[in-house]
Structure formats: structure tokens, C-alpha cells
Amino acid sequence: MLSGGSDGVIVLYDLENSSRQPYYTCKAVCSIGRNHPEVHKYSVETVQWYPHDTGMFTSSSFDKTLKVWDTNTLQTADMFNFEETVYSHHMSPVATKHCLIAVGTKGPKVQLCDLKSGSCSHILQGHRQEILAVSWSPRYDYILATASADSRVKLWDVRRASGCWMTLDQHNGKKSQAVESANTAHNGKVNGLCFTSDGLHLLTVGTDNRMRLWNSSNGENTLVNYGKVYNDSKKGLKFTVSCGCSSEFVFVPYGSTIAVYTVYSGEQITMLKGHYKSVDCCVFQSNFQELYSGSRDCNILAWVPSLYEPVPDDDETTTKSQLNPAFEDAWSSSDEEG
């Protein structure tokens, strides 16, 4: 696992639990520490493995750079410099015909960096404020979603000259264009994006304390109600969805906890408690069916689903643990330090 910190340090962890104990601490394999000549100067906002193998990974930082690293030597193979702070970057998990890295910065333009040529090949124009989150579709090579502080979420087909394919509208076109909130996805900054694992839907979160689920093919707001989803993050909020569960779940940082919702019904299943300070990011590992969360308390926690929920002591009608209604995909708040 790759992890980037607010001190600019990048650490690689071995997630294998060789002890076979239910609670264990993952070992750091190696790190790009403060003494490394190419370490990021400021906070690392995003890290990502090269989608096709672990011989390479990328990192972006508030120091206005995106770096491409050789995993074996822990040296930079390439570096992209930007004029402004970098909030987010993403490489397509499915692309075979392009090697584009989408980058969101403090400026309103989305930058596309080409790994093959080593240069910024495209600029996508249409947003009016900073780009807080970017995400490629896990279904289509050329579809990119971007979220901005201008309250808008745009979908782009990067093959098209005009670029922007669709701007999501929370009102589904039912309010006149004269209304200020028309053609906006949220009534506040949009700082998080996440496609469902099949790419058919897109989840967005905003500083209006709302999460929305969109049909990614026609841009329709599905109007699923998740209730208040507390979000006061000043930068990108990285949340995630499950993959391989019988019903899909979304895991969203919620202050110092993580809220777990069913994606399509909006029901809040549980709150995962274990961190002491604000949670900034969540990522789901489908092979292990584990969730990892990073917090400002300097801990990364690993979470596993629990088949059973403990019954309160004062319930005398039953003595055994009852099967959780969400059955095999119940997420408990038992945590493992990682």
C-alpha cells in the first residue's frame, strides 16, 4: 500500500498479516523520507499505483508537482511542474490506448499529462474555480469526471475537441437557467468524486453536506437521499465504494469517523469509530475486502467486515449474537491498526 503524508513523506506498507492475529500492525517496507533528495516539499495529496503493475507509482503535492516514481529504485522517472497547488490526480484503471494522468489544481483548468510524451498534452476548460477532484471512469477509457469549487461536476470525453460532454444538474433541468443553482451539482464546493465499480453511476460530495448519486450515462440525479453527510474539508475529500459485495456500500469520511451507506438506497449502515482526528481519505481493497482510512491523527486503520453484530447486554430476550441484517457485508467498527 502507498501512503502520502502532510509532511511530504511517502511510505510503502506490506499489508500481509503474517502473524495471523486479528489485530496487527503492518510493517513499512520502505519510504521516501525527509532526507530523500526528491521528496515532496509540502503535503502529498494523492498517491496512485500505475494501474497495470506496481513497478511505478505517482504522487502529487501542494508543492505544485506531480512525480512519477520507479518503485524499485525509489527515484523519480519523470516530473510535471504546475503553476498552482495540485489537489488531485488520477490515471485511468482501464485505459489501453492512452497514458493520460488527469490533474486538478487551484486553477480552473483540468490538465492532462501524457506519460508517453512526458508533457501536458491537453487542457480542459469550462470550470470557473479550482478543481478539487478528478476521476476517470472505470468503464470507458476516455470519460473523465471533474469536481470544482464552482459547485459543478463535469463529464468529459477527452477525444472530443470541445471536451465537455455534460455538466451535471441537481435539478435534472427542472429549474430555469435564470435560477442561480441551475446546472450545479451541489450548493457548495464539490470536493469529492467516486464512480461505482461498474462505472454506471457516479457519487459526488459537497460542502453543502450532501452526497448525490448520478446516472453516469445520461447525467440524471437519481435523488437517493443519504441525509446530512458532514463535510467541511477545505480540499479534496477522498471517499470510496465497495467492490465484490452483494450490495454496494460507500464509505465517506465524516469528521473523525467514517459513515457507511448502501449506495442505492441511501441507508446509513454504521459509523466506523477508531480515529481521533479528522479522516481525510478512504480506499477499498477488493481482493481482501478491506477498507483503509487515513487520518490527521497520523494513523492508517484497516477495517474488515463483520458477520455478526454484538447484542447489547441489557437485552435479555436473546443471548446469542444476531446476524446483521446486511448479512455478509455488514461493516463493523472493529479496527486493525495498519
CATH number at residue 218: 2.130.10.10
- State the pLDDT at residue 206: 97
Strand partners, 27: 14
C-alpha grid cell for residue 181? 443553482
- State the pLDDT at residue 311: 56
Lowest mean pLDDT among 109-118, 171-180, 219-228, 246-255: 171-180
**Cβ neighbours of residue 54 closer than 8 Å, sequence gap 6 or more:** 71
Residue 137: pLDDT above 70? Answer: yes
Largest distance between two CA atoms of the chain = 68
Give a yes or no: residue 283 inside a domain: yes
Residue linked to cell 459509523: 271
Residue 246 domain boundaries = 241-310
Based on the fold, state whether residues 187 and 121 are members of the same structural domain. Answer: yes
Based on the fold, state whether residues 231 and 273 are members of the same structural domain. Answer: no
The number of domains in the chain is: 2
- State the pLDDT at residue 7: 94
Based on the fold, state whether residues 179 and 290 are members of the same structural domain. Answer: no
Residue type, 294: G
Where does a domain end: 202, 223, 238? 238
Give a yes or no: residue 91 inside a domain: yes
Based on the fold, state whether residues 231 and 247 are members of the same structural domain. Answer: no
Mean pLDDT of 96-111: 94
C-alpha grid cell for residue 43? 503535503
Where does a domain end: 184, 209, 238? 238
Distance in angstroms (rounded) separating the CA atoms of residues 203 and 118: 31
Q: What percent of the chain stands above pLDDT 70? A: 89
Q: Which of 153, 159, 165 is nearest to 192 (CA)?
A: 153
The model's pLDDT over 187-242, given as tens digits with 9 standing for 90+, comes to: 999 999 999 999 999 999 999 999 999 999 999 999 999 999 999 888 999 999 99
| Averaged pLDDT of the chain | 89
Q: Which of 108, 15, 93 is nearest to 50 (CA)?
A: 93
- In the chain, what is the straight-line distance between the N-terminal and C-terminal CA atoms, in Å? 10
Length of the chain as a residue count: 338
Give a yes or no: residue 64 inside a domain: no
Give a yes or no: residue 170 inside a domain: yes
Phi, psi values for residue 150, rounded to 5°: -85, 15
Based on the fold, state whether residues 189 and 259 are members of the same structural domain. Answer: no
Cβ–Cβ under 8 Å, residues 268 and 226? yes
Residue 149: pLDDT above 80? Answer: yes
Strand order, beta sheet including 143-148 = 131-136, 143-148, 153-157, 164-167
Based on the fold, state whether residues 234 and 246 are members of the same structural domain. Answer: no
For 100-104, the CB contacts below 8 A with 24+ separation are 100/158, 101/58, 101/66, 102/134, 102/135, 102/136, 102/144, 102/146, 103/60, 103/66, 103/134, 104/130, 104/131, 104/132, 104/133, 104/134, 104/146, 104/147, 104/236
User: pLDDT category, 176, cuts 50, 70, 90?
Assistant: low
The model's pLDDT over 106-115, given as tens digits with 9 standing for 90+, comes to: 999 999 999 9
- State the pLDDT at residue 328: 42
pTM attached to this predicted model: 0.88
